Each structure stands twice: as C-alpha cells, then as structure tokens.
Structure 1
Amino acid sequence: MAYLVNQYPAISTTFIRREIHALERLGHSVIRYGIRRPWVQVVDPEDKREEARTRYVLDLPIYALLGSVVATAVSHPIRFFAAIRLAMSFYWSAGSLFRHLVYLAEATVIKRWSDRDKIAHLHAHFGTNSTTVATLCRHLGGPKFSFTVHGPEEFDRPVQLGLGKKIASCEFVVGVSRFGCSQLYRWADFADWSKIHRVRCGLDESYFDVAWTPPPSSPRFLAIGRLNEQKGMPLLIQAAAKLARDAVSFELTIVGDGPLRSTLEKMIQEHQLQSCVVLAGWKTGSEIQTMIQQSRVLVMPSFAEGLPVACMESLALGRPVIATAVAGIPELVRSGVTGWLIPAGSVTALCRGMTQAMEVSDEEIIRRGKNGAARVRQCHDVRREAKKLSNRILGLPASDKRIPSVDKSHHDPRPKVFPDETTPPAFVSTKST
C-alpha cells in the first residue's frame, strides 16, 4: 500500500508517522508519497528519516510532470478525459482552474508510481488536495483509495473541496472522532454512509511506556499549536495579561510557530509579560514530551479543531487539559474528570480555568491526569487503531479475530473513566449493485 500526504513529514503530523509504523508492524509494506516537501524544516530525527523515505511529486522537473500528463493522455485517453471532467467539477466548486489542472498532473505521476510499485491500496490523509489527487488518480485507473479527514478545514469548506464526490469515489473514509464522523454524514449521500468509519489518531509506546512523573506544584502552563488565528493564542496572551495584572504568579510556555508569532511577541512586550510568557518555537517530539512532564496543565484555547494530538499526549503523560468545548475535544476532556472544558472565545473563561488549575490541590491534578491517561490508553492506542484501519484496507470486519489483540502487557488495570463505546450501527447502502 502507499500513503499520500500533501506535506510529509511535518512537525504537526507525527500521528501519521505513528500510524504508518504501526501498519508496518502489522505486516503491511507502506510506500510514502508526498506532493511537496515540508515548508518548515523538520527537526525530529524520526521525521528526518521519514523524509528520506518519501518520494515527492514536486521534486520532479516541470518537463517530467508535463511528460507524465502527455503519456497518460496518449495511453488512456478515455480515462484521461473522464479525469479532466472530474477536475473541472472540482474547479467549478473551488474556483481555481489552474490549481486543479496541476492536481490532475500530479495524479498522473501518482498513477505511474502506483503502477510501478504495484500499489493495491492508496490512503491519503486530509480531505484537501492530497485526496483530490488520490480521487483523480483512481479515475485514471489507479489503485483503490481511502482517506482520513481530520478537520476543521474539510468541514469549513466541504462544497469547495468536493467532499461528497471524494466519499463517493473512495472505498472508505475515516473520521478521527465521533464529531468528525457526524460531519462526514452531513456531506455524504446516505447511500455512502456505510463507507464512513472512525479510526482515531493514536499514541505509541513512547508515551504509554514512559514512567509516570508527578506534576509540579508550581503554576507552569504549556500550550502547543500553530500560531495562527484558529488556535486562539492571542486570547491566551490576553488571559495571561489579566492574571499578571491581578498579581498572579505563573509561567506559560507556548510551543509552535506561525504567522501570528510577531503579533504575539508584540502583545507580550505591550503587557510586559517577558518574565512569565515564553514563545519556544517548534520542538522535537522528545522535547515536547519533556515539556509536558515539566508542566502542570496544558492549555488549548482553539476556536476550531479536529481532535488535537497534543491533548492526547498531555493526558497520556498524566497532565490534565484546559480546552475549549469545540469539535471532538469533549470526547477526551471533561470538566472535573480529565481537565476543564471552557467556552471558546472567552478570555474570562481561560482565566477562570487557569486560576482553578493553580488553586486545586496537587492530588486533584494527579487524579484528573490519571483519568486522562486511562482514557487515552483506552481509546487512542495506535496499535489498536491501526488494526482497525488495516482491517478496512483488507476488507475484514473491524473485530476480525485473525488480527492479534493489543499487547496485554500494556493493559491498564484502572477502571475506565467513561462508559464503553459501542461500534455505531452499520448503515445499509441503498445503491444498486
């Protein structure tokens, strides 16, 4: 099989690398295809190894891309013109003819690579351009494909992205949360609802096998995310400024980078927060793990999300989370159980949550952190989730007993925090066969 991702590896997509490695441990041979190299230079040693193993479409010179288009048009004219019609239908929704002709050219390259590598199944991550290319590749006669939708971008503009057309063309589509699946149901024809499955992003032994460390008593907060409007970091700076004006002592480290960095730096200077707020930039996976362990609580002020991996990582290491009640986050974070859920867009609510996290006892922080760790182990073990994906690719039932169970040495004896979740009922397709 092959994975197709727009930019791979990327600092914010370690969950894809974990999923690929878990599939390989199950016996799959996974080829990596990328559309382009990462915009931001990767710093994690694991990501550097993944980059060396990935073949990039846009590494090809322009004449090679054009040659691939011509060769495909000559060898498979009927399929080629059918793919042109599909590309035009995407263009009519999204309004960029040139971009979708480029996607078609990229699809001809993926088709040739798939033929050469004998790819039986292509899996794309994100329902954006990588899945557009996979859809066009399939219409050119390429391999069957599936894709994982994370959100929120796909749910912000589903019509422009042709999400329904992509679901109709694929073998199956994955949502990473119950919320994500519900949004896929919105934009898929009812006849295609049976294609929609939940496979969560997962963590591996690098988080589950780490020795537990007690949280610090000092009020150290950590935030992780891209510095853009969607993540709500300016509100976090405003909340920090309010706490500082109230003479509250705390530390806040923000890991990440992005277009709002200079804006946040100015805000920190204007509010004289240099002694308590640090913009740390991007960090490696091991560095982030250490920073989580050194913090008391993770703060996530996002306006829109899918189901953030940073939330899983913090809970897995026993650190509760203050997060906004958006998208799939309430599936992991519950007030009084694994953290604090707050309304999005409220500086006051952020301040209240941070204040409560400072005021509660260390024992309460530990209790919520351990509840979160149990929840993540129960629902976000990448080995278990990869088996679900593997079964879908192989056409097996989700609970097929031929797939070995999760290693019992990693079983957590603590009671489950949330009720067991049952598999959603199968939908019967009304399509004629």
Structure 2
Amino acid sequence: MKIAFIVGAFPKLSETFILNQITGLLELGHEVDIFAGFNPYEKKVQPDIEKYKIMKNVYYLNMPTNKIRRVFKGLVLLTTNFHKDPVILLKALNIFIFGKSALSLRLLYAIIPFLGKKKDYDVIHCQFGPNGNLGALLKQLGIQGILVTTFHGYDIRLGIEKRGNIYHKLFKSCDCILAISDYNYENLIRLGADPKKIFFHSVGINLNIFPYRWRSAGFGHSNAIVILTVARLVEEKGLEYGIRAVAQLLELNHGLQLEYRIIGGGPLEKQLKQLVEKLGLGGVVHFLGPMGQADVVQEMLRANLFLLPSIAEALPVSLMEAQAVGLPVVATSVGSTSKVIIDGKSGFLAPARDVNALVERLEHLIKHPEIWQEFGKTGRRFVEEHYDIKKLNQQLVEIYRNLINSKYQ
C-alpha cells in the first residue's frame, strides 16, 4: 500500500508514537510519504529518522505567518505550478466553497505538495483532529484514498472546548476515525462522530528499545532515590503538583535522599524553575531538557520510580515506556491512564491536582522497595500484551485493508 501521513510539525522529538507507526509501516513493506506543516528544527531528532531515510519522503507546506509574505509566496507557487493542475489550484482558491481555508491560502499551500500525486495513495492518514480537517478539505479537492484520522489528546480537548463544531465536516467525510483510548471514544461520540466509523487503535512503543531491568533501592548513579518524569513542560502535564509533592515528601521524611529528574521542554520551564527555587529544591529537582529516545531509556534505567502528575491526558506513552523498563509508576487518574497502569499492581493512581495523594503513593513505594520488582514485572508484562507497536502496526494494516476492501467491493 501507499500511505500519506498528514501531520503538524515533523520530525518532533516528543511524538515518537507517530514515528513508530511510520517506521513500522515501512518495515512491513509499505510506502509512506509525510506531509507536514513545518519542520520544527529541534536540536535533537530520533535516530530512526536517519535510519529509515525518512526525510527524503517529507513534504512541507511552509506557509509564512506574515500575510504579505504569504501572498507573494503563494503567487509564486501558483504561477510555477499552474501547469500541473490548473483546475485543482483554482478550486483551492474558491472562497465560496472553502471560505477561510481558501482566503488564508492555507488550502493552496496544502495542495501544492500533492500535485501529480492525487491518485497515488491508498490511505490518507491524518494525525490529530485539526490535520484531519485539512485531510477532509483535500479530499473535497479531489485527493483520493481512504481518509483516516487518529485523535490523540489535545485535539479531543479542543473539540470539547469548541463543542465539537470544528470537526463536523471531518466526521462526515472521514472513512475511519481511530480512537486511541476509551476516553477518546466516548468523547468522539459526544462530539458527534458516527460510532460506525470509530475503531479502537492504541498507540504503542518499540519494546526492543526499552529493555526490562528490575531495580531496587540503591540502584542508579547515587544512593538517592531517583524519581523521573518525562513530559512536555505544559500545563496539562501538572508538573507543579509533582514538584510540590517532592517538596512535601522531603518535609515529612527528614534525611530522605531524593532526586527528581524531569525530561522535556516547553513554555512553562521558567515558571517551574522559579517554583523549584521558591521551595528550596535547587539541589533536588533537575531539568534535563528534551532528549532523544536512547537518552530517555538511559535515564529510565538509572531511576527508581516514575511519576506523571498530569491534569489532562489521553493515553500517555511515557507510562508505557516506564513500565516497559520495569519502573513502578505513580500517575493521576485522568483520561485513560487507568488503561495503562494496573492500579496497585504495576503502580498507583491518584486524583489529579492532589499533592497529598501523590505524596502518599510515592511514600508507600519509597518505604516498600521490596514490592518494586513485582510491580516492574507486572508492568512489563502488561505493556508487552497491550502496547507492543509491532503488533499494533500489523493491526493498523488490517484496518487499512478492511477499509479499502469495503469501499471498493
């Protein structure tokens, strides 16, 4: 099969779940092109980008944010590409059909990379609802292929905020909507999606990258117990509550040697560092910045416990990764985190925004290192059974094939 992925930023260090699908499809012998809004030019990229030579099949919209530049560049694109398909280009500028998408020139920039390819794809797979909206417009322009959209986390929350209105056209024209969790499925129904079009398909991880290794108290680079978080530094990850929980743990347990290491970058970095200084945790909390997957694995192997204090989630991949290496985990009961953790057996769930509850669960694990090994084994088995990306990618191909067969029967 020939598959087009429509994404936002690419390659993005934190979106390994998308990269895992792309590389898995390539390994299974399928062709994949990636159509992205822009290149974020992050300092680090995942090694699989080079390993699979993915960038040679990436096409960017690269629409300028400055309106004047956008118009001038749009005129150049229009004149240099007009001979390829004048009908579809003029249609992309029709404000009576496409409204703001045409007026803003977004549709013109989006269609340019597809010129000459509009009949090439068996599947157009959009990652996140807003990219699905773009896919629906491209389908209306004449791009052929089964239209599939995977909803993740922020796009569901955006739909709830906008009361579902932003996805109505997508829900009508999409051939298949993939829900990664029960939380997503239930909210997609509320937002107006046709239940007959919704299929469960989880994100997953490459278990070969995350070797299982049980650890006990004292394992790691120091005698301190190391708590690790891997998350973007944004409000929904609830890192303020994790930091406050660490401060309270130290207040309640004098002499406890503790280190809290946070992997990730984001807009709240300055604010969170100020909180750390205010709480006197300068020597305890360490911000490590964004990391590639190999470095994340090494940090997980050095840690003793994993903490994810989110206030909003869909299906957190970092919890899969942590359990895959055998870390006992503590997370908040939001979204579908309960589908990733076996509460009381591979880790503990706590209410969101509840510092005392986080402290209680972390303290229990710290005081009972004898249960870490069993928690680690249980977590690893659970991830192997439910979130092995190799199995999930094979299931994704079957979904594609069934959709194609149903459409052309």
Q: What is the aligned counterpart of 1:234 among 226, 234, 240? A: 240
* Contact persistence 2:133–2:167 (CA under 8 A): no
1:179: how far off? Answer: 1.7
Q: What is the aligned counterpart of 1:245 among 223, 226, 251? A: 251
Amino acid at match of 2:378: N
The reply on whether 1:184 has 2:188 as its aligned counterpart is yes
1:42: how far off? Answer: 3.1
The correspondence of residues 240-279 of structure 1 with structure 2, limited to 5 A, is: 240-246=246-252, 247=254, 248-279=256-287
Match of 2:109 in 1: 106
* Contact persistence 1:125–1:148 (CA under 8 A): yes
1:80: how far off? Answer: 4.5
1:22: how far off? Answer: 1.2
Match of 1:317 in 2: 325
Shift in CA distance, 243/69, structure 1 to aligned 2, threshold 3 Å = farther
Shift in CA distance, 353/147, structure 1 to aligned 2, threshold 3 Å = same
CA shift digits 1:12-58 (9 cap, x unpaired): 11111111111122221111221111263333333455445422121
Using the alignment, how far apart are the partners of 1:324 and 1:68 within structure 2? Answer: 53
Which shows bigger deviation, 32-41 or 48-57? Answer: 48-57
CA shift digits 1:208-247 (9 cap, x unpaired): 6x25343444521001111111111112121222223332
Match of 1:427 in 2: none
Using the alignment, how far apart are the partners of 1:370 and 1:113 within structure 2? Answer: 51
Using the alignment, how far apart are the partners of 1:181 and 1:285 within structure 2? Answer: 29
Partner secondary structure for residue 117 of structure 2: helix
Using the alignment, how far apart are the partners of 1:62 and 1:109 within structure 2? Answer: 10
1:122: how far off? Answer: 1.0
Partner secondary structure for residue 59 of structure 2: strand
Match of 2:68 in 1: none
* Contact persistence 1:216–1:295 (CA under 8 A): no
Match of 1:212 in 2: 213
The correspondence of residues 260-409 of structure 1 with structure 2, limited to 5 A, is: 260-362=268-370, 364-395=371-402
Q: Which runs of 5+ in 1 are unaligned?
A: 89-96, 399-433
Q: Which runs of 5+ in 2 are unaligned?
A: 65-72, 219-223
Which shows bigger deviation, 153-162 or 259-268? Answer: 153-162
Shift in CA distance, 225/77, structure 1 to aligned 2, threshold 3 Å = closer
Shift in CA distance, 69/108, structure 1 to aligned 2, threshold 3 Å = farther
CA shift digits 1:350-373 (9 cap, x unpaired): 2112211211133x1111111111
Shift in CA distance, 161/23, structure 1 to aligned 2, threshold 3 Å = farther
Using the alignment, how far apart are the partners of 1:389 and 1:212 within structure 2? Answer: 30
Using the alignment, how far apart are the partners of 1:174 and 1:68 within structure 2? Answer: 37
Match of 1:2 in 2: 4
Shift in CA distance, 21/98, structure 1 to aligned 2, threshold 3 Å = closer
Partner secondary structure for residue 31 of structure 2: coil
Using the alignment, how far apart are the partners of 1:224 and 1:14 within structure 2? Answer: 13
1:65: how far off? Answer: 4.2
The reply on whether 1:119 has 2:121 as its aligned counterpart is yes
* Contact persistence 1:151–1:306 (CA under 8 A): yes
1:161: how far off? Answer: 6.3
1:175: how far off? Answer: 0.9
Match of 2:200 in 1: 198
CA shift digits 1:382-423 (9 cap, x unpaired): 12111221112122699xxxxxxxxxxxxxxxxxxxxxxxxx
Using the alignment, how far apart are the partners of 1:153 and 1:229 within structure 2? Answer: 15
Amino acid at match of 1:306: A
CA shift digits 1:277-301 (9 cap, x unpaired): 1001011101101111111111001
Using the alignment, how far apart are the partners of 2:101 and 2:4 within structure 1? Answer: 27
TM-score after normalising by structure 1: 0.81
Amino acid at match of 2:376: G
Using the alignment, how far apart are the partners of 1:311 and 1:227 within structure 2? Answer: 16
TM-score after normalising by structure 2: 0.85
* Contact persistence 1:215–1:294 (CA under 8 A): no
* Contact persistence 2:156–2:188 (CA under 8 A): no
